[in-house]
Amino acid sequence: MRLKTSLLKEAKHKELVSCVGWTTADELYSCSEDHQILKWNLLTSETSLVVKLQEDIYPTDLHWFPKTVGGKKQTQAEVFVLTSTDGKFHLASKTGRIEKSVEAHKGAVLAGRWNYDGSALITAGEDGQIKIWSKSGMLRSTLAQQGSPVYSVAWGPDSDRILYTSGRQLVIKPLQPSAKVIQWRSHDGVILKVDWNSVNDLILSGGEDCKYKVWDSYGHLLYTSSSHDYPVTSLSWAPDGEVFAVGSFNTLRLCDKTGWSYALEKPNTGSVFSLAWSVDGTQLAGACGNGHVIFAHVVEQHWEWKNFVITLTKRRTMQVRNVVNDAVDVLEFRDRVIKASLAHGHLVVTTSLQCYVYNSRNWNTPLIFDLKEGTVSLILQAEKHFLLVDGAGLYMFSYEGRLICSPKFPGMRADILNAQVVSLSNDTIAVRDKSDERVIFLFDTLTGKALGDGQPFIHKREVLEIALDQCSPSSERKIALIDKNRDLYLTYVHRHGREHKVCKIGTMVHTMVWNDAANILCGIQGNQFTVWYYPSAVFTDKELLPKTLYMKDGSEFSRAPHILSYVGTKVTVRQGDGSLIYISVSPYPALLHEYSAAARWEDALRLCRFAKDPSLWVCLACMAMASRELTTAEVAYTAIGEVPRVQYINFIKEQPSKESSLAHTLLFSGQVQEAEATLLQADLIYQAIQVNINLSNWERALELAVKHKTHVDTVLAYREKFLQKFGRKETNKRFLQYAEGVEVDWEKIQAKIEMELSKERERAANASVRSSIAPRR
Amino acid sequence: MAKDPLAEAGFHFDELNKLRILEPEVSQKTTELKEECKEFVDKIGHFQKIVGGLIELVDELAKEAETEKMKAIGARNLLKSVAKQREAQQQQLQALIAEKKMQLERYRIEYEALSKVEAEQNEFIDQFILQK
């Protein structure tokens, strides 16, 4: 990926250009110290004078009023704020007419920024003050005051906090007066520019120590650049938060959000005082010290999937290379490419007006449909359909180009969604809420309605990342999530009328990705590269989960590795320094998943015997247990030497009735309540009581016995035995109470138990006779 | 010689016997002086002209010398700035080289990772064939 820059031969401005701002993706306004405001039209490459300002206005900063707010178009006429060195800020219309000038600061006003919904304006001045103004330019409050000039200011993602510079320190100040201020020393020189992205919540800062740094919103340092030759005079996040641009003397740099640099350009610009990305994130403009305005766009982005490599060669052209036979196809588009995604055999490309869908088998005839709003910020693909996210909402499309649905939820802000907090599978969309980060909304892809009873899933902590598995049947769709403590959890999307069973399967997990063709999860846990061959093992046999893992030492990875994709057996990891590395994972687990999904247990067993990998045997055991395939499970457990489990499986097999064996299978995976419910449903009261007794769940056992008026003495007898064994006395009041009226007679009890068991056997026999008669009819 | 009563009265006769009130000698000297003065003025005038020409010439020369001097200074400065420019250019190229080096390093790591994957896959294939 690199920047392609264009610079006119002759500078249009006579003095240094101090600020630039985009109105649309093809129109830019620039302000200079020669008092001129110029309008640049990129479609016609014309430059026209908008207005010549009064001689005493030297502009310092320009910011357009935000155009869309949460998907709704602003009705207000287009205006921008222009700050100047005489201590005023001016609200000006698109024609350049100054609607209002407000005396704001002593000395120059150095920065002026609208918040995201345009309801407030913030200005910072040389006098060290930061003031908040209403939309119409009325002073609301002075938010902060300090002894040194404030060079730059930025709004937080929710417009509830601001970030500003204070000499060598950065300060995050919430608008609420009582909330805590975060302040930290961040550079060795005066900080000149800051920016805060609303999509990824990361902070950028650059200053006279010639470095730029990336921070998270808590002030933790994520990246620091090496020292440049000149001070960093400008920086700006691309709107989607994937890349950012850095400007310095004769220097323009394009960097990844993790800080490493994609490309460096050395244009003849003088110092770049201000940088601005167009709303769709395709164009970049810089205000140059020698009167030029530099334009740049990003080219040579790559997309890879299996044997296809796609490169954006020009703004409107892509090149597809099939590395197997070296065939090259060239795709042409009518407009600039804004976003593209390649997965599941399909390439989805959005331009400002249209969406193109290509099938990897045929690059000649794309399916084309028009888009309502051009600025698609995110494309997610699943096997059967894909999701487009733009400022206004989420749209589900089939690969045939049909709009399937458009899920909505209260407080939705589609403009700040990123791939970490939205996940798509064939039948489910999951979206993490922004206002309460513990909440995950789940939608059906076909109807766009919330799943189940419409209640979102609420985790106990803030969730950072979510991912849906790609290939289970829809009733067993699972979602993996990483919370604020970096713990990895797994849960079912459908709760089947019960509470969500959320199981922790990993700690210190920084990144995770599901495989595209099997329910295998890979992630980086601490500094171990980990593959969960069968994550659902946690629901059937929790203790064996660690044995289903494939761990590889990841200490060779440099700082902050991030998994990009897990396709087939290949895992692609992006390291902190920007290099890609590939890890191949054994193909056997995926095969095993295939066999178990198709219930080909014989083949599965053969595969395990062939591969001789203990973790495969464990996976098979858990899979077989999950599908209640006891024979296979027995073989698998034997292979890994889990004798107690084999014995228990034999015990389950010996159960007289189907219900009992089902209950015990459930018990095997620790689902006590479900097991009990199964037994009670089948009217096997005694068995239910016995289950509770065996688990020393005395109170529940007694409760059941009393409720159904049977086997109270059995419970009491077992309780007595239990207490004797430990040499303790009965203290539970309920037991004491019932013990008074009931006499314990072991012989009688044994007889009763025997009777219950024979009754069950008889019933089971009848049932099997009945079921064998039924088909004959 | 007896005194000429006319001469006493201040009248004289010249050679052409015209009546004069100045002594003919004085008159002759005066005329001579006048002639000489005229000659002198002429000579001075000529001298001035020559000097003027000289001054002009010298001025011109001075001007030329000045421009040449400026040129020399300019050239010298240019030379100095070229050195500086080269330095700046070098710096820029250096920065670009550093960037490319970093990219190369990234590619090297990627290549190593891919070679490793290749080796692993070959091993896997060998094993697979052997076991069958």
| Joined tokens for residue B23 | 């002594």
Cβ distance A251 to B109 less than 8 Å, yes or no, reads no
- For the cut 50, the answer to whether the pLDDT of residue A239 exceeds it is yes
**How do residues A454-499 score in pLDDT, each as one tens digit?**
788 889 999 999 999 988 888 888 999 999 999 999 998 887 656 6
Return the percentage of chain A with pLDDT > 90, whole number: 46
Give the residue-averaged pLDDT of A709-723. Answer: 82
**How do residues A719-741 score in pLDDT, each as one tens digit?**
888 888 888 887 888 888 877 77
Residue carrying structure tokens 């479900």 = A674
How far is the C-alpha of A179 from the C-alpha of A170, rounded, in Å? 17
Q: Is A2:A256 a contact under the CB 8 Å cutoff?
A: no
Q: Across the strands, what pairs with A64?
A: A80
CA angle in degrees (0–180, nearest 5) for A655-A658-A660: 55
Where residue A629 falls among pLDDT bands split at 50, 70, 90?
confident
Q: What is the CA radius of gyration of chain B?
A: 53
Residue A264 phi, psi dihedral angles, 5° rounding: -125, 135
**How do residues A279-317 score in pLDDT, each as one tens digit?**
888 899 999 999 999 999 999 999 999 899 999 999 899
pLDDT, position A387: 93
The residue extents of the domains of chain A are 12-298, 655-773
Best to test chain B binding among A584, A586, A608, A609 (most B CBs inside 10 Å): A584
Rounded to a whole number of angstroms, the distance from the CA of A120 to the nearest CA of chain B is 41
**How do residues A431-463 score in pLDDT, each as one tens digit?**
998 888 899 999 998 888 888 777 888 899 999
CA angle in degrees (0–180, nearest 5) for A670-A672-A675: 110
Tell me how far apart the terminal alpha carbons of chain A are, to the nearest angstrom. Answer: 70
Residues in chain B with CB shorter than 8 Å from the CB of A583 are 113, 117
| Joined tokens for residue A304 | 């890879």
| Joined tokens for residue A721 | 């035995």
Where residue A774 falls among pLDDT bands split at 50, 70, 90?
very low
Handedness of CA A137, A143, A148, A153 (dihedral sign): negative
- For the cut 60, the answer to whether the pLDDT of residue A772 exceeds it is no
A582 part of contact set with chain B, CB < 8 Å: yes
Query: Which residues, in sequence order, are CB contacts of A167 under 8 Å at separation 6+?
Result: A148, A190, A191
**How do residues A42-59 score in pLDDT, each as one tens digit?**
888 889 999 898 888 899
**How do residues A204-214 score in pLDDT, each as one tens digit?**
999 999 999 99
A583 part of contact set with chain B, CB < 8 Å: yes
Residue A174: burial class (beta carbons within 10 Å; 0-12, 13-18, 19+): middle
Q: Residue A546 gets which letter from DSSP?
A: G
**How do residues A635-648 score in pLDDT, each as one tens digit?**
999 998 888 888 98
Helix axis angle for A746-776 and A685-694, nearest 10°, is: 120
Query: Which residues, in sequence order, are CB contacts of A97 under 8 Å at separation 6+?
Result: A51
Query: Which residues, in sequence order, are CB contacts of A751 under 8 Å at separation 6+?
Result: none
A266 part of contact set with chain B, CB < 8 Å: yes
- For the cut 60, the answer to whether the pLDDT of residue A503 exceeds it is yes
Residues in chain A with CB shorter than 8 Å from the CB of B125 are none
Return the percentage of chain A with pLDDT > 70, whole number: 97
Q: Is A532:A538 a contact under the CB 8 Å cutoff?
A: no
Cβ distance A579 to B105 less than 8 Å, yes or no, reads yes
| Joined tokens for residue A32 | 């200079």
Helix axis angle for A643-653 and A658-668, nearest 10°, is: 160
Query: Rounded mean pLDDT of chain A?
Result: 88
User: Closest partner residue to A579 among B91, B109, B120, by Cβ?
Assistant: B109
Q: 10 Å Cβ neighbour count for A50?
A: 18
Best to test chain B binding among A223, A579, A610, A613 (most B CBs inside 10 Å): A579
Q: What residue in B sits closest to A262 (Cα-Cα)?
A: B103
Q: Is A567:A306 a contact under the CB 8 Å cutoff?
A: yes
Best to test chain B binding among A266, A309, A606, A607 (most B CBs inside 10 Å): A266
User: Closest partner residue to A582 among B88, B114, B131, by Cβ?
Assistant: B114
How far is the C-alpha of A33 from the C-alpha of A554, rounded, in Å? 54
Query: Which residues, in sequence order, are CB contacts of A399 under 8 Å at separation 6+?
Result: A346, A357, A359, A367, A384, A385, A386
Tell me how far apart the terminal alpha carbons of chain B are, to the nearest angstrom. Answer: 172
User: Closest partner residue to A581 among B92, B99, B109, by Cβ?
Assistant: B109
Give the residue-averaged pLDDT of A553-578. Answer: 86
Where residue A769 falls among pLDDT bands split at 50, 70, 90?
low
Whole-Å CA distances, A731 to A341, A695, A703, A719: 67, 19, 17, 12
Give the residue-averaged pLDDT of A221-234. Answer: 92
Rounded to a whole number of angstroms, the distance from the CA of B106 to the nearest CA of chain A is 4
Q: What is the dihedral of CA A693, A694, A696, A697, to 10 degrees?
A: -60
- For the cut 80, the answer to whether the pLDDT of residue B41 exceeds it is yes
User: Closest partner residue to A261 among B99, B120, B121, by Cβ?
Assistant: B99
The SS3 of residue B34 is helix
Residue A86 phi, psi dihedral angles, 5° rounding: -85, 10
A554 part of contact set with chain B, CB < 8 Å: no
- For the cut 90, the answer to whether the pLDDT of residue A346 exceeds it is yes
The SS3 of residue A509 is strand
Where residue A776 falls among pLDDT bands split at 50, 70, 90?
very low
- For the cut 50, the answer to whether the pLDDT of residue B94 exceeds it is yes
Q: Is A685:A708 a contact under the CB 8 Å cutoff?
A: yes
- For the cut 70, the answer to whether the pLDDT of residue A773 exceeds it is no
Residue A99 phi, psi dihedral angles, 5° rounding: -75, -35
Cβ distance B102 to A261 less than 8 Å, yes or no, reads yes
**Is CATH 3.40.50.720 correct for A12-298?**
no
- For the cut 60, the answer to whether the pLDDT of residue B8 exceeds it is yes
What is the total count of domains within chain B? Answer: 1
Cβ distance B106 to A577 less than 8 Å, yes or no, reads yes
Rounded to a whole number of angstroms, the distance from the CA of A582 to the nearest CA of chain B is 6
B92 part of contact set with chain A, CB < 8 Å: yes
Residue carrying structure tokens 């990841």 = A554
- CA-nearest of A634, A619, A492, A490 to A546 is A619
Chain B neighbours among A 640-669 (CB < 8 Å)?
none
Residue A144 phi, psi dihedral angles, 5° rounding: -150, 160
- CA-nearest of A65, A61, A38, A66 to A51 is A38
**How do residues A263-280 score in pLDDT, each as one tens digit?**
999 999 999 999 999 988
Size of interface A-B (CB pairs under 8 A): 48
Residues in chain B with CB shorter than 8 Å from the CB of A250 are 88, 92
| pTM as predicted | 0.83
B85 part of contact set with chain A, CB < 8 Å: no
H/E stretch holding A667 reads helix A658-668
- For the cut 90, the answer to whether the pLDDT of residue A183 exceeds it is yes
Residues in chain A with CB shorter than 8 Å from the CB of B113 are 580-583
